[in-house]
């Protein structure tokens, strides 16, 4: 368990720990069983909702025990009050697991036990999510519930029929549009499988392979450790559902390395936070959102992955460039040769860990397997390929590894249950459709204002949540308005996902930046500001691909390449502007000119014929300014550090 994880969880009594770990292993086993549809192959008649009830029971039981209720709650044991709450939470899931077949026959009937367990589940899920993720999402959930109960008293377009509390409690638990609906289906199968895959990969030693390969490739260059952080975190972040976990795991190694060669603490923290967060939007896995997005858009998974490639390249290109320019601005060097592993030796030692990812992509893209089936197959391949490295581990090690993965899944399940509650409430009240009206009215005034408002809402909704939960929160509440206004569906989905994800580095919350700041021993606010500068492309590109889906690989190849190359030069210009350095320091007026030219280069040429001239003019400005900077760098006596205005 990471130090960050340990700081927000507690140690429970030994007998409770045995129960929790056993249940976590059972959760993983059940998820794998249903992911492969084995219940059908063996002729076992069980409803999906009964499976969800099992997952529900384990997740709520675990969360209420390992996460303290308050900062001053006991950290060395679970108090009896929490044990009672955990048992009550488990009883809600067991109720669904045992009685759902009969409940489904009279779903509309108001029965006391339906109301009791429904209300109990609502209260305990909200409390569990508060303990894990804070107050933002629970308060938002309560707002939706209060609206449903008192909708007839709201003014104007928000006035509608109130929902009786008995029906609300029943349907939020039992309806396939709420807690036991699509979100639970995806989390309990697809997401569970990929959490286990990622956890096994790094526990078995695969993480070391990718870090060492990045170190071998980039270590000798100036700012080498920062570039290692970028590459390593990009890979780990793609299969991780948590940017914060990514920061803690990779940042505990890379941040001290960056500081040692001269990066300021806030810069070192920002690099790791930005790289880790970007992994959530990086193919092929995109924290499992790629599979979910494909389901919502009714398109092949491979098409979603292809759409994600160009924005990810621009994002990480900008990050690598800024890291390099910052190193050049402050006169850093690369690591000593003795500190850099030999790439061939790294590959000879760890090449088996390279096998599962191509297998995963092949089964998903070419064989068109279901995501959960492909993920389970890749997991089996990983175990077979990596077994040599853990062959001396006792059976208990495998048990503990699976249990740890199961505990990770429970956190995601809890937030999924709460999001399902929000979506169920908004569906029952029609609020999801009502909320689109103000956005559509704003869009009628200006499409740009619509996007700005949507970006702000996405930043707020995404605060502190895992990537998959961020997407679920927005896809029902915001995307319909964008699509109704005429925005290409895939662009609408990527737009809200990008802004939701990058709330993790956006102050004032910026939980990924805060985690990195804790390791770097820097100011969380300063780290968040630097992270926003490092990740600036993530705030620009979504506006571009809404107006021109060419950056999502939609359209003629020549146009896709034209806009990609233009945006790539924009990345260079905006990096030099923000870092105040190219080959030597850059004055403030020139930095401002470069920034403006960069925006011009991001504008897609297919948006309007006049933009062709904007692109050409911006390209000329960048070429002239950087050429002058290169010439100035050759002037004898130029002091690189002194001439820079700083980052």
Tens of pLDDT, residue by residue over 536-555, are 999 999 999 898 899 999 88
Same domain, 367 and 330: yes
Instruction: Give the rounded distance of the alpha carbon of 75 from its chain centre.
Output: 29
Does residue 394 form part of some domain? yes
Same domain, 102 and 161: yes
For residue 425, name the pLDDT band (cuts at 50, 70, 90): confident
CA distance 259 to 34: 46
Question: CA dist 156 to 146, 153, 159, 204, 528, Å?
Answer: 17, 10, 6, 58, 39
What number is the average pLDDT over the span 142-151?
89
Mean pLDDT score of the chain: 86
Instruction: Give the CB-side neighbour count of residue 519, counting CA atoms within 13 A.
Output: 31
Same domain, 165 and 197: no
Q: Where are the alpha helices (DSSP H) in 366-446?
A: 371-386, 395-429, 431-434, 436-445
Question: CA dist 275 to 252, 278, 323, Å?
Answer: 14, 5, 11
Question: Percentage of the chain with pLDDT > 90?
Answer: 38
pLDDT of residue 404: 93
Residue where a domain stops, chosen among 355, 371, 399: 399
Does residue 484 form part of some domain? no
CA distance 63 to 607: 49
Same domain, 200 and 134: no
Residue 47 reports pLDDT greater than 60: yes
If one counts the domains in the chain, the total is 3
What number is the average pLDDT over the span 449-455?
88
Does residue 164 form part of some domain? yes
Q: Mention every residue, 6+ apart, whose C-beta is less than 8 A from residue 626.
A: 572, 573, 576, 582, 594
Residue where a domain stops, chosen among 166, 184, 202: 184
Residue 396 reports pLDDT greater than 80: yes
Same domain, 94 and 222: no
Task: Write out the residue range of the structural domain in which residue 156 sits.
Answer: 3-184
Does residue 34 form part of some domain? yes
Same domain, 304 and 371: yes
What number is the average pLDDT over the span 332-342?
80
Q: What is the largest CA-CA distance in the chain?
A: 86
Residue where a domain stops, chosen among 380, 399, 418: 399
Phi and psi at residue 208, to the nearest 5°: -65, -40
Instruction: Give the CB-side neighbour count of residue 450, counting CA atoms within 13 A.
Output: 27
SS percent in the chain: helix, strand, coil, step 5: 80, 0, 20
Does residue 221 form part of some domain? yes
Same domain, 361 and 279: yes
């Amino acid at each position: 368990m990471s130090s960050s994880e340990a700081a927000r969880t507690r140690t429970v009594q030994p007998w409770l720990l045995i129960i929790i770990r056993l249940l976590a292993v059972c959760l993983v086993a059940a998820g794998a069983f249903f992911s492969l549809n084995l219940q059908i192959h063996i002729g076992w008649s069980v409803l999906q909702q009964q499976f969800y009830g099992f997952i529900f029971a384990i997740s709520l039981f675990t969360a209420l025990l390992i996460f303290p209720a308050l900062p001053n709650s006991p950290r060395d044991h679970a108090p009896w009050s929490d044990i009672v709450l955990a048992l009550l939470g488990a009883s809600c899931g067991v109720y669904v697991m045992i009685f759902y077949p009969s409940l489904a026959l009279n779903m509309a009937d108001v029965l006391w036990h339906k109301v009791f367990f429904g209300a109990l589940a609502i209260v305990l899920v909200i409390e569990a999510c508060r303990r894990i993720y804070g107050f933002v999402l629970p308060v938002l959930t309560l707002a939706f519930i209060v609206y449903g109960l008192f909708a007839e008293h709201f003014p104007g377009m928000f006035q509608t029929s109130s929902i009786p509390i008995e029906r609300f409690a029943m349907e939020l638990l039992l309806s396939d549009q709420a807690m036991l609906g699509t979100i639970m289906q995806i989390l309990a199968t697809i997401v569970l499988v990929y959490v286990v895959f990622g956890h096994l990969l790094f526990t078995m030693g695969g993480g070391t392979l990718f870090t060492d390969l990045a170190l071998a490739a980039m270590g000798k260059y100036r700012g080498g450790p920062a570039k290692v952080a970028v590459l390593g975190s990009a890979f780990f972040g793609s299969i991780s559902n948590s940017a914060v976990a990514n920061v803690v795991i990779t940042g505990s190694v890379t941040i001290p390395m960056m500081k040692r060669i001269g990066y300021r603490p806030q810069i070192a923290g920002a690099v790791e936070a930005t790289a880790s967060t970007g992994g959530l939007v990086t193919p092929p896995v995109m924290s499992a959102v790629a599979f979910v997005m494909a389901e919502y858009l009714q398109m092949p998974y491979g098409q979603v992955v292809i759409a994600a490639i160009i924005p990810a390249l621009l994002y990480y290109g900008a990050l690598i460039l800024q890291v390099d320019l910052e190193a050049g601005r402050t006169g850093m060097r690369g690591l000593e040769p003795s500190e850099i592993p030999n790439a061939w030796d790294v590959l000879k030692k760890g090449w088996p860990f390279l096998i599962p990812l191509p297998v995963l992509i092949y089964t998903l893209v070419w064989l068109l397997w279901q995501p959960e089936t492909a993920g389970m197959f890749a997991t089996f391949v990983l175990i077979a390929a990596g077994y040599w490295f853990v062959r001396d581990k006792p059976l208990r090690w495998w048990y503990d590894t699976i249990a740890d993965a199961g505990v990770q899944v429970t956190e995601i399940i809890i937030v999924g249950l709460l999001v399902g509650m929000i979506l169920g409430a908004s569906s029952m009240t029609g609020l999801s459709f009502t909320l689109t009206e103000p956005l559509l009215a704003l869009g009628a005034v200006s499409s740009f204002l619509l996007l700005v408002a949507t970006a702000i809402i996405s930043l707020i909704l995404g605060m502190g949540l895992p990537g998959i939960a961020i997407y679920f929160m927005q896809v029902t509440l915001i995307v319909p308005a964008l699509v109704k206004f005429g925005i290409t569906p895939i662009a609408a989905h990527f737009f809200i996902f990008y802004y939701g994800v990058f709330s993790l580095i956006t102050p004032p919350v910026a939980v990924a930046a805060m985690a990195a700041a804790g390791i770097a021993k820097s100011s969380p606010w300063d780290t968040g500001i630097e992270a926003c500068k490092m990740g600036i492309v993530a705030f620009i590109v979504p506006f571009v691909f809404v107006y021109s889906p060419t950056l999502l690989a939609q359209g003629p190849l020549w146009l896709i390449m034209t806009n990609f190359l233009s945006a790539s030069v924009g990345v260079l210009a905006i990096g030099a502007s923000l870092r105040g350095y190219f080959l030597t320091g850059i004055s403030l007026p020139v930095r401002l000119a470069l920034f403006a030219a960069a925006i011009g280069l991001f504008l897609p040429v297919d948006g309007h014929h006049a933009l062709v001239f904007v692109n050409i003019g911006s390209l000329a400005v960048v070429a002239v300014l950087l050429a002058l900077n290169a010439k100035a760098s050759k002037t004898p006596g130029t002091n690189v550090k002194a001439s820079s205005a700083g980052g």
